[in-house]
């Protein structure tokens, strides 16, 4: 994999397993807070872009939203990993050829290793 799409987690930005990967954040709402948090930690230079479903007029599990995320990253879906906590909504990325890793639907603080395991 060369790129990853996920809801924000500083853990994924800092891990060696994703060093050099392009990253995009895909969310339905509330991404503005993620952008602020990413900037707060000085990680905004590691994000290729942000996709808000309400701005796009489509949402997960529509495969088009993942296609747009891949376009944003500049990568073929075969080189992109979607990490998410919803097998239906996030897992729909596989319809266009992205890999998918499911993480538990818990606050990040309660699943600290889940994101790292997803990309290793």
Q: Is the pLDDT score of 2 beyond 90?
A: no
Q: What does the domain layout of the chain look like in residue ranges?
A: 3-119
pTM assigned to the model: 0.78
Q: Is the pLDDT score of 9 beyond 70?
A: no
CA angle 54, 72, 83 (to 5 degrees): 75
Task: Write the CA distances from 103 to 45, 55, 100, 114, 119, integer angstroms.
Answer: 25, 26, 10, 6, 11
pLDDT (tens digit, 9 = 90+) per residue, 39-92? 777 777 777 778 888 888 998 999 999 999 899 888 999 999 888 888 999 999
Contact (Cβ atoms closer than 8 angstroms) between residue 98 and residue 5: yes
Share of the chain above pLDDT 90, in %: 23
> What topology is assigned to 3-119 in CATH?
Rossmann fold (3.40.50)
């Amino acid at each position: 994999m060369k790129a990853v799409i996920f809801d924000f987690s500083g853990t994924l930005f800092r891990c060696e397993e994703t060093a050099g990967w392009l990253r995009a954040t895909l969310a339905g709402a509330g991404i503005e807070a993620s952008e602020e948090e990413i900037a707060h930690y000085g990680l905004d230079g590691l994000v290729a872009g942000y996709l808000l479903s309400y701005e796009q007029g489509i949402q997960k599990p529509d495969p088009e939203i993942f296609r747009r995320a891949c376009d944003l990253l500049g990568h073929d879906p075969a080189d992109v990993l979607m990490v998410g906590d919803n097998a239906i909504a996030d897992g729909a990325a596989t319809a266009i050829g992205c890999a998918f890793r499911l993480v538990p639907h818990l606050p990040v603080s309660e699943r600290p290793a889940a994101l790292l395991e997803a990309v290793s």
